[in-house]
A and B are shown apart, each in its own frame.
Chain A
Amino acid sequence: MNRYLIIIVLFLMFIIEGTWFQYFLADRFMIEFQWVPRFVLVLIIYIGLFHGRLTGVIYALAFGILYDVVYGPFLGVYTFSFGLISYILCWPLYIVRRNVSLNIVAATIAVLFIEYFVYLINDVLGLAMLSHEAFIYERLLPTIGINFVFAVMISYPWRKLLEEIRKRMNPQES
């Protein structure tokens, strides 16, 4: 039952990124800097760390497909990059899971990787009209900032929920 809660939270976050965030934050305060919300990715990295690599990659692929179909002009970009980064980062180790700051660092690295990957794809295809320097200052740093803040804010309730579900799924471990 609780696994459905995870899916619902992820889906709500996916919807909010495209609707509420764009109306209230992006359109009013995003004239000079571009803050790109990658909240779903942050949540998925936590899931991967707590519930194992395979679960994380499955969620990443599912939501990557959603991003590609709903928003992107290019299919496959988000599916590939979400899947790859969650596979690389989600070490199923007790130490990583235990340490809050390592969780947050992993989520931030994931955001950094995704931003760079999508920038490179757009650059190769000639759609990115941003120089590399402008990209870093106007886009990458604000994006990492806002997603870092989100990762910190969400860490306590989200980790607690994931831990609860993990214990229920394999009760012999604890």
Chain B
Amino acid sequence: MPPFFSNKRLIVLLVCIVILVGLIGYSMSERRSMTWPEQFIVDSVGWVQSVFSQPAHMVAGFFDTIEDIRNVYEENQALKAQLDDYATVSVEVDELRRQNDQLKESLDITESLYDASYRSAAVINRSPDRWNEFIGINKGAQNGIEEDMSVITSEGLVGKVARVSQFTSTVQLLTDQDRANRISAMASEDDSVYGFIEGIDEDTGYLHFTKIETDMEVEEGMTVVTSGLGGVFPRGLEIGEVIGVKDDEFGLTQSAYVEPAANFHHLDYVMVVERESQSLEPDIDPDLGDDDE
């Protein structure tokens, strides 16, 4: 039998390792959009995946329905209790909305951080090795999806669009551990507390809400929403609820644990949110300046 690794094989192996390292470096480079062969593969596979995932959604929906039926009585009781408040609240909302419109008109405000438009999409895949928390959705550049748009379910924020192909795109969930995956968020009751959402705690499943100023009061039960200050997400998308607060390791800032509102384990349909208000004027946006060079 010949020796297991002859010289020739060793050289081939080394060349392969060099290529591997090069490719990893290339794919880690910032702001890389997908090349056309990648888009072609992802779109063709995505088409088959969407065919397969439709019956899966139906069966999964059937299981959910059975679970719903079991809880229907308690839910009904709770909803009846809330319904009494509904009439008064809706009158109040109408009144406030009218007032708000009038005030905006008088001040000539045309856009706000809350403005957004929504597109619905179905989840077609989830990466099977759970090292990264990516899901694929069946809408792409042809449907007007762009990178960095935020993605929500009816319950709350789940992530942002990471890669866009022509007919499919990939969403990076909030739970992904990538260091660049952080979101400007705020918790508000009387006055707003600003901070960043930075990944998830593996053991407890709570999100880290960090970089909160020490003199701000953060309490359990506060609702955390996106602040819209990062220039990517619109304001007011629900993220979750504060569970506990602790001081940071150096005592300069506080951080809190946030229980996510959305269920990251059961994603069937999502909505992609497009922020309407411009983040920066084009002539002072440094990114556009880079493209000109």
Contacts and interface: CB of A to CB of B under 8 A. Distances in A.
Interface string B20-45: 10011011100000000010011001
B126 A18 contact: yes
B53 A75 contact: no
Contacts of A125: 24, 28
Contacts, number: 114
Contact of B27 (A11, A75, A84, A127): A75
Of A26, A28, A65, A72, which is in contact with the most chain B CB atoms at under 10 Å from its CB? A72
Contact of A22 (B19, B24, B126, B202): B126
Contact of B178 (A65, A127, A134): A127
Interface in B126-140: 126-132, 134, 136
A16 interface: yes
B45 A76 contact: no
Contacts of B28: 73-74, 125
Interface residues of B: mostly helix, strand, loop or mixed? helix
Interface of B: 13, 16-17, 19-20, 23-24, 26-28, 38, 41-42, 45-46, 48-49, 52-53, 56-57, 59-60, 124-132, 134, 136, 177-179, 199, 202, 265-266
Given A74-B23, A118-B129, A121-B24, 20 more contacts: A15-B52, A19-B124, A19-B126, A20-B52, A22-B126, A23-B59, A24-B60, A36-B129, A70-B46, A70-B125, A71-B127, A71-B129, A73-B134, A76-B23, A76-B27, A80-B17, A125-B28, A126-B179, A127-B178, A129-B202
15 contacts: A18-B49, A18-B125, A22-B125, A23-B57, A31-B265, A36-B128, A37-B128, A74-B27, A75-B26, A75-B27, A76-B20, A77-B20, A118-B129, A125-B24, A127-B178
Interface of A: 11, 15-24, 26-28, 30-31, 34, 36-37, 65-66, 69-77, 80, 83-84, 118-119, 121-122, 125-130, 134
